[in-house]
Structure 1
Amino acid sequence: MTEPHNHPGNPPGRDHTGRWTDLERPPLGLRALRRGLILPGGLWTSLDVVEATGSTNTDLAARAAGGAPEGAVLVAEEQTAGRGRLDRRWSAPARSGIFFSVLLRPGPGVPAERLGWLPLLTGVAVATGLARAAGVDTALKWPNDLLVTVDGEERKAGGILAERAGADAVVVGVGLNVSLRAGELPVPTAGSLALANAVSLDRDTLLRAVLRSLERWYGQWRETGGDPAASRLQEAYAVGCATLGRRIRAELPGGRELVGGAVAVDGDGRLVVATDDGERHPVAAGDIVHVRGA
């Protein structure tokens, strides 16, 4: 969209048209975000903020089909039909979180079989960015959940969804609960940065930190041809993954279940589960339930 409407005398990049239903949740500063992120030679080529949309992934995939270049970023102040894995819905109050999608075109230098690392890479990037900007230890639940600790319990505060968009493009979406209060949580087991006692809830600061971190990790991964070991992505993911070392139940496609210890993430990004009979099973897709510590 274009710049938010501003009245004379008001700071640029902020919306001052009376739509502030919650003064603790100001709108994002579009101009400042563009100045800080769209840099010569950098990954990010455009950044747009919309007040509300159904799904930033859907919208950005449409732009990808129209030939949008790599590095396009689409942010929504409110997502009304955000999607997670298995087409699950994600919604939150306006300006209570960070909801964005990025368009990536890794190119022929990255084999198609390594594109499955992109949601894991994004998890590492978000977690490292939040550690710096929010002072929150964000753990990763395989394959795409972002966990924070609230009152001594792990809770889901965000999720990641990567989708192919044509032959050479991938759209990666991130939804992160920032200022949600306990009474606003979609389910009691959810969390937010506020509930995890983050040192900053400034969404401009957090979004800049996450996108800069994503640019670094993506550049490093692409330079190595998407090699998760050479780029140190596999190592970083293992360090930050709360699933590893746990006894888990994997609910697999087709109604099957697998119970055992999560022992590794292999070179293809699959979760390796060691069952009680000593067999090791690589899991490429499924819902993972953390049963207990190993």
Structure 2
Amino acid sequence: MTPPDASHNRWSDLDRPPLNVTALRRGLLRPDTLWTSLEVVESTGSTNTDLAERARAGAAAEGAVLIAEEQTAGRGRLERTWTAPPRSGLFFSVYLEPGDIPPERWGWVPLLAGVAAATGLAKAAGVDMSLKWPNDLLVQVPRTPDPVGPGGGPSGEERKTGGILGEFAGDGIVVGLGINVSLRADELPAPTAGSLALAGAVSTDRETLLRAILRSLEHWYGAWKAADGDAAASGLQAAYAAGCATLDRTVRAELPGGSSLVGDAVAIGGDGRLVLATEDGLRQPVSAGDIVHLRGAAGGLT
């Protein structure tokens, strides 16, 4: 008879070992760093929900990190669910207190987390990462079978491998990240999803990847705070634009309330909004909504 907790047993999937919390704390929790606490739980509904509740109760300090080996009710933007097999990805939230930074600049924090995750993963996993505005992490996954592109190498398609969600809580903001690391093709939740493994990552060691992301996040958060939350002065605005796959494309913005707007994505504004150039010659900033990539530089559907 199979024990009811077999799927959570450390021996249940030897290709997906549990995180070593002692090693993570040793490497990340130091007096001169941003990170003040790190907890790993076996399973929870949502690390964002849990950490936000602690922050509202005054039970979380800036730099708290909460990680789950499995999320059963992970949340993305627009209340979409995010699920994956246990230990197949990185599912974690951090609590940040921007303090005296003007509140109108706090909207950059989730975008900052995107830049940090993309740069950290590019180095640690050796995978070319890009950002879909506002908060998706994309990778190139080879098609099956792999056709050969005009440059002589295998062509691929953009797939979402991660998402970011920020929400105000207590005196700060909780930022949650969900990243597909080792998911196999038959485990993907949707045809548009991908994983680092399917994108050819040189490493899928979750501890290595998590350390890289958190150190990158500390760097970008420190630079942004030192510039009083000025995204341009800190280099954050330029970094986001450089890694944003949405720019220079025709997109459809599906806006709150059911309306939509089609235009060319031409810039990331100083306030973090996506600027669309519409057919009537106007430039329209978009602050919220779902973005659908319609055409890229090559003119194909994306």
TM, length-normalised to structure 1: 0.93
Large movers: runs of 4+ above 3 Å: none
Q: Distance in 1 between matches of 2:56 and 2:191?
A: 38
Q: 1:98 aligns with which of 86, 90, 103?
A: 90
Aligned position for 2:267 = 264
Aligned position for 2:123 = 132
Aligned position for 2:152 = none
Q: Distance in 2 between matches of 1:287 and 1:97?
A: 24
Q: 1:175 aligns with which of 174, 178, 194?
A: 178
Q: Distance in 2 between matches of 1:111 and 1:73?
A: 24
SS in 2 for 1:64: helix
1:15-60 Cα shifts (integer Å, max 9, x gaps): xx95421110000010110011011121000000000000000100
Is the contact between residue 10 and residue 18 of structure 2 (CA under 8 Å) also seen in structure 1?
no
CA RMSD of aligned residues (A): 0.9
Aligned position for 1:288 = 291
Q: 1:63 aligns with which of 29, 48, 54?
A: 54
Q: 2:157 aligns with which of 150, 153, 175?
A: 153
Aligned position for 1:117 = 108
Is the contact between residue 10 and residue 17 of structure 2 (CA under 8 Å) also seen in structure 1?
no
Q: Distance in 2 between matches of 1:126 and 1:277?
A: 36
Is the contact between residue 76 and residue 82 of structure 2 (CA under 8 Å) also seen in structure 1?
yes
Alpha-carbon shift at residue 214 of structure 1 (Å): 0.2
Matched, 1:232 2:235: yes
What letter is aligned with 1:138?
M
Matched, 1:188 2:191: yes
Q: Distance in 1 between matches of 2:259 and 2:9?
A: 52
Aligned position for 2:167 = 163
SS in 2 for 1:129: helix
Q: Distance in 1 between matches of 2:89 and 2:10?
A: 17
Runs of 5+ unmatched residues, structure 1: 1-16
TM, length-normalised to structure 2: 0.90
What letter is aligned with 1:85?
R
Q: Distance in 2 between matches of 1:196 and 1:202?
A: 15
Aligned position for 1:200 = 203
Aligned position for 1:10 = none
Alpha-carbon shift at residue 66 of structure 1 (Å): 2.4
What letter is aligned with 2:70?
E
Is the contact between residue 224 and residue 236 of structure 2 (CA under 8 Å) also seen in structure 1?
yes
What letter is aligned with 2:126?
G
SS in 2 for 1:124: helix
What letter is aligned with 2:228?
G
Aligned position for 1:141 = 132
Equivalences for 1:44-83 in 2 at 5 Å?
Answer: 44-67=35-58, 68-83=60-75
Aligned position for 1:242 = 245
SS in 2 for 1:78: coil
Alpha-carbon shift at residue 65 of structure 1 (Å): 1.6
What letter is aligned with 2:49?
T
> For the structure 1 residues 51 and 18, does the alpha-carbon distance in structure 2 shift closer, same or farther, using more than 3 Å as the test?
closer
Is the contact between residue 110 and residue 175 of structure 2 (CA under 8 Å) also seen in structure 1?
yes
Q: Distance in 2 between matches of 1:135 and 1:64?
A: 35
Which region of structure 1 is more displaced relative to structure 2, 230-239 or 58-67? 58-67
Is the contact between residue 90 and residue 180 of structure 2 (CA under 8 Å) also seen in structure 1?
yes
Q: Distance in 2 between matches of 1:20 and 1:44?
A: 30
Aligned residues: 276
Aligned position for 1:4 = none
SS in 2 for 1:272: strand
What letter is aligned with 1:124?
V
Runs of 5+ unmatched residues, structure 2: 1-7, 143-155, 298-302
Q: Distance in 2 between matches of 1:101 and 1:266?
A: 26
What letter is aligned with 1:34?
R
1:62-110 Cα shifts (integer Å, max 9, x gaps): 11122221000000000000000111110100000000000000101x1
